[in-house]
Amino acid sequence: MLKISNLHATVGETEILKGLSLELNPGEIHAIMGPNGAGKSTLAYALGGRPGYEVTKGSASFDGTDLLDIDPHERAAAGLFLGFQYPVEIPGVSNLQFLRESLNSQRKERGEKELSGAEFIRLAKEKAALLKMDMDMLKRAVNVGFSGGEKKRNEMVQMGILDPKLAILDETDSGLDIDALRIVGSGINAIMRKPDKAVLLITHYQRLLDEVKPDFVHVLADGRIVKTGGPELALQLENEGYEAIAEAA
Amino acid sequence: MTLAQTLPTKADEAWRYADLKAVESVWQAVDMPESVVVAAGQSEQKTLILETGEAQIRQLHIVLEEGARVDVACLAAAPGYGRVEIDIDVASGAHFEMGGAIVGADDQTLEIVTRVNHHAPDATSNQVVRSVLAGKATGSFLGKIDIARDAQRIDAEQSVKSMLLNRGATANAKPELEIYADDVKCAHGATVGELDKQALFYMASRGLDPVTAKRLMLHAFVADAFVDVDGETSAVEEQALAALEALL
């Protein structure tokens, strides 16, 4: 589904990704772990097409489409979802309006029929309930005045509504208390644990992986994947730290 | 500022940012200031929309008697030069509310100029102006608030925000407060900015095309200046949003 080969990316003058390769197949959940500054968020942003994150070499294809050749909103329409580490506040624009416009913009891009107001509200209610989020929060301006945990839960509601094929979730677990972590984890499972979907979880901690069991765990250090293993690798990291494992690799 | 009857010059502070050539072209045609008196305890609504005509100047002189209220909604979006001028006297217990939007592109010069004269105590005023400027447009808000020595316990607010969509656009915001009373509240804020790039990327990552994303953000920005009436978008806000379409 996603094939990244020898990806190099720079932010400003600094090269952050230095030849990263990774392949995700449908039905798989991959976790990427790694020390601060290893390039985890850069990978997410480069794949999402954030301005300022320049891919200088390598390729990323998504279901056969050259991901790097299309605009960020087209990547979303193609089925890519980026869960932000720091979701952005948009004053004056309600969550519901934002999501309805987003979903319909995607559907239009794909040549599908747009959803009516009633159809959309039904969908939004269902997904909000899944994440135990109050509909009143969806009527409020996007992320404005939300706590850190509420923002992350809102990201997952958005993911549920937009129903992507591939989700790249950048530290979705940071800032969550234990209960919220469980809700978010079961949300990810309910929305994305399907044979035709894939997830790339970027995280620092084992605790999210207790909720969302990865099929593969990768260690990212200095802009490259230095080690790949099964779920047990995350436990080993938790016990031994990144440094020991990155060095041994 | 008195509403000038002789052709203004750049030396006149209230006309400093005006397109004086355009002013000259229409000066003879400018009507005397429209005069509005809101009687004690009454309230009134005024709407001023400049969206057609190469050059337009609208002047409004309002007198609020005791306990009166006026709600002014205005839009400056004339294709060439547009100027809205409001001069208001506020009596005790009266309230002046103004929401204004300036929407311009190309070489448009648009301005909203107000002078609020708080000559009596215990009165309030609130002005909210939002400007969206593209191309080489210039948008200016000059807001003078005079508070006389005996006009105690006045609460006068002014919020002016401008959004520049291009490097060539210019926004001027000039709050001018002359306060002689010592027990007053006078809050004013002015900002000039551009569209939040982080928000634009966030919206794109959800699938919003760039035009729709810009539209949502600009609508929200301009909507600040207007209040919904019975849950409906006001006519002036509709016009402002229509003017924004040309900037997307």
User: DSSP assignment of A2-20, as one string?
Assistant: EEEEEEEEEETTEEEEEEE
Find residue A198's DSSP bridge partners: A166
With bands split at pLDDT 50, 70 and 90, how would you rate the model's confidence at B22? confident
The answer to whether residue B88 scores a pLDDT higher than 90 is yes
Tokens of A99: 């999501």
Among A75, A84, A101, the residue with its CB nearest the CB of B208 is: A101
Q: What pLDDT is stored for residue B7 in this prediction?
A: 86
Per DSSP, the three-state class of B127 is strand
Whole-number percent of chain B with pLDDT over 70: 96
A20 CA to centre of own chain: 17
Tell me how far apart the alpha carbons of residues A120 and A161 are, in angstroms, rounded to a whole number.
9
What burial class does residue A145 get, using C-beta atoms within 10 Å of its C-beta: 0-12 exposed, 13-18 middle, 19+ buried?
exposed
With an 8 Å Cβ cutoff, are B220 and A92 in contact?
Answer: yes
Amino acid making up residue B91: A
Dihedral pair phi/psi, residue B220, rounded to 5°: -65, -40
Q: Which residue has the tokens 């217990």?
A: B93
Q: What pLDDT is stored for residue B3 in this prediction?
A: 47
User: In 3D, which of B166, B112, B114, B113 has the Cα closest to residue B137?
Assistant: B166
What angle, rounded to 10 degrees, do the helices at A148-162 and A117-130 form?
A: 130
**Alpha carbon of B75 to those of A179, B27, B46, B235: distances in Å?**
49, 20, 12, 11
With an 8 Å Cβ cutoff, are B205 and A93 in contact?
Answer: no
Per DSSP, the three-state class of B140 is strand
Q: What pLDDT is stored for residue A249 in this prediction?
A: 65
With bands split at pLDDT 50, 70 and 90, how would you rate the model's confidence at B5? low
User: In 3D, which of B49, B63, B19 has the Cα closest to residue B236?
Assistant: B49
With an 8 Å Cβ cutoff, are B204 and A158 in contact?
Answer: no
What burial class does residue B35 get, using C-beta atoms within 10 Å of its C-beta: 0-12 exposed, 13-18 middle, 19+ buried?
exposed
* Cα nearest neighbour of A90 on chain B: B199
The answer to whether residue B228 scores a pLDDT higher than 80 is no
Q: Are strands A216-221 and A141-142 parallel, antiparallel or unpaired?
A: unpaired
Tell me how far apart the alpha carbons of residues B54 and B78 are, in angstroms, rounded to a whole number.
7
User: In 3D, which of A245, A237, A182, A178 has the Cα closest to residue A205?
Assistant: A237
User: In 3D, which of A240, A243, A238 has the Cα closest to residue A210?
Assistant: A238
Residue ranges of chain A with pLDDT lower than 70?
A: 249
DSSP characters for A44-112? Answer: HHHHHT-TTEEEEEEEEEETTEEGGGS-HHHHHHTTEEEE-SSPPPEEEEEHHHHHHHHHHHHHHHTTP
Amino acid making up residue A218: H
Tell me how far apart the alpha carbons of residues B164 and B193 are, in angstroms, rounded to a whole number.
6
Whole-number percent of chain B with pLDDT over 90: 78
Residue A81's domain spans which residues?
2-248
Count of CB atoms situated within 10 Å of the CB of A128: 23
* Cα nearest neighbour of A101 on chain B: B208
With an 8 Å Cβ cutoff, are B205 and A72 in contact?
Answer: yes
The answer to whether residue B244 scores a pLDDT higher than 80 is yes
What lies within 8 Å, CB to CB, of A38 at 6+ separation is: A220, A221, A222, A223
Q: What pLDDT is stored for residue B28 in this prediction?
A: 76
User: In 3D, which of B66, B210, B4 has the Cα closest to residue A73?
Assistant: B210
Sign (positive/negative) of CA torsion A23, A212, A101, B204? negative
The ipTM (two decimal places) reads 0.95
Instruction: Find out whether A31 and A79 touch, Cβ atoms under 8 Å.
Output: no
Chain A residues with CB-CB distance to B191 below 8 A: none
Among A50, A77, A162, the residue with its CB nearest the CB of B201 is: A50
Instruction: Find out whether A208 and A22 touch, Cβ atoms under 8 Å.
Output: no
Per DSSP, the three-state class of B98 is strand
With an 8 Å Cβ cutoff, are A92 and B196 in contact?
Answer: no
The answer to whether residue B110 scores a pLDDT higher than 60 is yes
With an 8 Å Cβ cutoff, are A71 and B217 in contact?
Answer: no
Nearest Cα of chain A lies from the Cα of B191 at a distance, in angstroms, of 16
Domain range list for chain B: 13-193
Nearest Cα of chain B lies from the Cα of A45 at a distance, in angstroms, of 10
Nearest Cα of chain B lies from the Cα of A75 at a distance, in angstroms, of 8
The answer to whether residue B2 scores a pLDDT higher than 60 is no
With an 8 Å Cβ cutoff, are A162 and B206 in contact?
Answer: yes
Tell me how far apart the alpha carbons of residues A125 and A143 are, in angstroms, rounded to a whole number.
18
Average pLDDT over residues B70-90: 95
User: In 3D, which of B98, B60, B140 has the Cα closest to residue B227?
Assistant: B98
Tally of domains in chain A: 1
Q: What pLDDT is stored for residue B59 in this prediction?
A: 92
Among B207, B219, B224, the residue with its CB nearest the CB of A106 is: B207
Instruction: Find out whether B163 and B247 touch, Cβ atoms under 8 Å.
Output: no
With an 8 Å Cβ cutoff, are A92 and B223 in contact?
Answer: yes
The answer to whether residue B1 scores a pLDDT higher than 50 is no
DSSP characters for B188-244? Answer: EEEEEE---HHHHHHHHHTT--HHHHHHHHHHHHHHTT---BTTBPPHHHHHHHHHH
What lies within 8 Å, CB to CB, of A170 at 6+ separation is: A40, A41, A44, A82, A83, A84, A85, A202
pLDDT one-digit tens code per residue, A112-156: 999 999 999 999 999 999 998 999 999 999 999 999 989 999 999
Per DSSP, the three-state class of A119 is helix
Nearest Cα of chain A lies from the Cα of B156 at a distance, in angstroms, of 24
Q: Are strands B138-147 and B109-118 parallel, antiparallel or unpaired?
A: parallel
